[in-house]
Structure formats: structure tokens, C-alpha cells
Amino acid sequence: MRLGIRLVLLALAAGAWIAAAVLLWQSSVVPGGLHLSGADPRRYFTDRQLARTASFERFERWDFVLAQVTLVAVLVAYARYGGRFARESAAGRIGTGMLLGMLGFGFVWLAQIPFGLADLWWERRHGVSRTGYLGWIFRDWGQLAGEFAFVCLALLIVMALAGKLGERWWLPGAAAFVALGALFTFVQPYLMGPLHPLSSRRPRLAEAAHRIAVHEGVASVPVRVQNVSGETSAANAMAIGLGPSRRVVLWDTLLDGRFGERQVRFVIAHEYGHQARRHLPKGIAWYALFALPGTYLIARATRRRGGMADPAAVPLSLLVLVVLQLAGLPLQNVVSRRIETEADWMALRTTHDPVGDRRLMQSFTRTSLVEPDPPTWSYLLLDNHPTIMQRIALANAWAAQER
């Protein structure tokens, strides 16, 4: 193909990518021009609380950074020497690729264990986690096996496509991964283990939740409770599923009395906000936008190893994938924070309760030791939610607008 045509096609693709990204970005209902920075954390938190959360998160941050450095180092070594494990396979081209992919994943898992244990030790020390060390190592082996299976499925798709299409596998490959992502989002509620109806635990709260759902136009989406209090004291909630599988899930730690009813109602409204604004399908769309250049770059990077049709390229592809994910993390966090801000805004519109929101944020800081105003580098690299102070500022901005 001539260079000129290539450039035109590239420009068209880039234009389409940017147009789609802008369209998704601008679909938010949060008004522009809100000023969410500069609020003083000492107005809402004591010095002791601020010191404690800063100390807690500093360790977690550096643990994460060291874990990522180790991860990349392990994968660099594996990219260089991992190909030799191909001789341990009698499984043909794709099977050998699967073996190499799983071994790489296994090395990564092993290398991450010390950092996970350090993190657990820190959380236990601060009363955030109740999981035992051995329990932590062995508890998620089912999930780990699922991840191994997913690695194999991904390599099966990529290597089969690369075998048929050569270097052009990346385009249908990206589509296949997006389809898989959508499928996983759809089935996730059925893979989470037992989820209990909110009405069986807190009937009054369940009625309030239903009113919120009606107000936000998602009356058919139920609220479920997941039991996690045996493992952690941290509180959380999430919106999951697609179409008929949509759910709002509350951890039972939210209902243990540390959070007032107004605060829990705000959490529910926030999660319903995700469902009402169709954040999960939009998340898949964002994933598609990142997957396209991602698969293209993997195809390019593995070219010198024979491309993804050759099992020898698999170790290198793992390294490229992880590096791309790390490099793309700040951008993904920008998108994620915008989505979370919109969910907060929806909750404020539904509950008309900025005070409840602020108290909720204060409770999160107290129970989960979330630092209200983290360092900028940490915010950019690690935070996929707005900071606590930004969320309080949003509540203030909403209240000011209402006045």
C-alpha cells in the first residue's frame, strides 16, 4: 500500500477515534466550569485523621509502585528468556503459545505475592483488612484459575487470527476483546457468589432505594448485598451487569452501623447514577477505543519475533501489554474520574443531600483510611475516583448552584 494512502487512512482512523472519544467525553451531565480544587481538608478532617490517612496511603502507594516495577522487570526477563519454555510443549503452535502465556502469568502472580502480603500486613495493622495471610494466598485460587483460562482464551483468539490474517489480526482481535469484555460485564453478577436482596436486611432502606431507582429511571435494577465483612472492614459498593443482568451491589460493611441511612442512600443513588447514565456500556466503548491502538501496537512490537502467529512472540507481547496498560493508566483514570463525578452529580440531583454526601466522604476517610487530598503524581497515576476533597467540593458546588 502506498505511503500516501496509508497516511490518509491513519488520519481518518485518528479522526474517528478522536470524534468517538469527544462524543463519549461530552455525554456527561455535570455542568462545565465547576471549580473542584483548592478546598481546605482541615475544614472537614482533624490533623490526626489527615496524618493517619497520609501515612496509610504513602505505604500503599509505594508498595504499588514497587510492585509495578517488579512486574515490568519480571516481564522483561521473561520476554528475553521465556521463549525457551516452548520446548516443554507438545501442543502445537497455539497450545505452545497458551503455555508461554500461562507461564508468564504465573511468574507475574508469584512476583506480586510479596507486595500483596506487604499490603495485607499494612491493612491488618490499620484494621482495614481481617484476612489471614494463608487465607489471602489461598482464597482466590478459583479466580486465579479463571484468569489463567482467560489468558488462554485471549491467546487462542489472537494466535488463531494471526495464523489466518497475519499482521492484520489486530483489528478483528480488538473487536473480539471488546465482545469478550461485554460478555464478562454481562455475566459478572452471576460470578460474584451469593448476593442477597437488600429488603431481607434493611426493608426501609430497600424502599428508599426503590424510590431512588424510580427517580433515576432505572426501576428494574435491583439492589443486592454482598457479604465481605469476614474479610475486610472497608466499605464499598458497585454497579455491575448489562441489560437484564444490571445490579447495584452494596458490601455488607456499609450496613454495619458505621454509616448513617442518609449516607447509604447517597451511595445507592451514586451507583444507580452509573446505571442511569449507562456508564457500563460507555466503559465498554472506552475500552474499545483503547483496545484498537493497543492491539495494533502489540502487533507491531511483536513483528520481529515472527508476529503473534508464532508462540515465541507471546512473552514479548505480555511485556508490551503490561507496559501499554501502565502507560495508559493516567488516561484511563481521567475517564474513570469523569464517570465517577457524573455518578456523584446524579446522586446529588436525586437525594438533594450534599450534607449526607460530605458526611459519607468523611466516613470513608475514617473507615477506609482514604487520603482526602493525595499528592498530584499519585492522583494522576493511581486514582480512578475523584479525591475526597474533590467530591466534597462537588457537593458544595451543587449546593451553591441550588441556592
Partner 1 sequence: MDNVLASVPARVVVTDDLHRSRLTVFFRLLLAIPHFIWLFLWTVAAIVAAILNWFATLVRGQPPQGLYGFLARFVRYATHVNAYLSLAANPYPAFNGDPGYPVDVELAPPARQNRLKVVFRIILAIPAIIVAEVFLGTGWNFVGGPSGRAYYQEGSKFSIAGGVVLGTVSFLAWFACLVRGRMPQGFRNVLAWGIGYLAQVAAYVLLLSERYPNLDAGATGVLGGQPPRPVRLRIEDDLRRSRVTVFFRLFLVVPHAVWLVLWGIAVVLAVIANWFATLALGRSPSALHRFISSYVRYQTHVYAFLGLVANPFPGFVGRPATYPIDLEIDPPERQHRLITLGRLPLAIPALLVDSAAASSLLFVTAFLGWFASLATGRMPTGFRNAGAWALRYGAQVNSYLYVLTDRYPYSGPESGEEPEAEAGTEPAPLAA
Interacting residues toward partner 1 by CB under 8 A: 85, 88-92, 95-96, 98-99, 102-103, 106, 144-145, 148-149, 152-153
> In this complex, which beta carbon is closest to partner 1, that of residue 85 or of residue 345?
85
Q: Which is nearer to partner 1, 125 or 164 (CB)?
A: 164
Cβ nearer to partner 1, comparing 90 with 134: 90
Select 99 or 237, whichever has its Cβ closest to partner 1. 99
**Which residue lies nearer to partner 1 by CB, 142 or 217?**
142
Compute the least distance from the CB of residue 94 to partner 1, in Å. Answer: 8
Closest distance between partner 1 and the C-beta of residue 87, in Å? 8
Closest distance to partner 1 from the beta carbon of 152 (Å): 4
Shortest CB 317 distance to partner 1, Å: 17
In this structure, which amino acid lies at residue 366? Answer: R
267 burial (CB, 10 Å; 0-12 / 13-18 / 19+) is: buried
- Residue-wise DSSP of 133-200: HHHHHHHTHHHHHHHHHHHHHHHHHHHHHHHHHGGGGHHHHHHHHHHHHHHHHHHHHHHS---EEHHH
**Residue corresponding to grid cell 508490551:** 320
* Measured distance CA(294)–CA(45) in Å, rounded: 42
Q: Which is nearer to partner 1, 307 or 311 (by Cβ)?
A: 311
Between 1 and 90, name the residue whose CB sits nearer to partner 1: 90
Choice between 89 and 229, CB closer to partner 1:
89
Rounded CA-CA distance 86/142 in Å is 26
- C-alpha atoms less than 13 angstroms from C-alpha of 164 in its C-beta half-sphere: 10
Give buried/exposed letters for 159-187 (b at 16+ CB in 10 A, else e).
Answer: bbbbeebeeebbeebbbbbbeeebeebbe
Task: Give me the least distance between CB of 105 and partner 1, in Å please.
Answer: 8
CB of 120 to partner 1, least distance (A): 21
Q: What is residue 259's three-state secondary structure?
A: coil
Q: Say if residue 51 is exposed, middle or buried (CB neighbours under 10 Å; 0-12, 13-18, 19+).
A: exposed
Distances in Å between the Cα of 267 and the Cα atoms of 25, 66, 261, 262, 273 are 23, 33, 10, 9, 10
CA gap 99, 21 in Å, rounded: 36
Q: How far is the CB of 149 from partner 1 (least distance, A)?
A: 5
Residue 142 Cβ vs partner 1, minimum distance, rounded to whole Å: 11
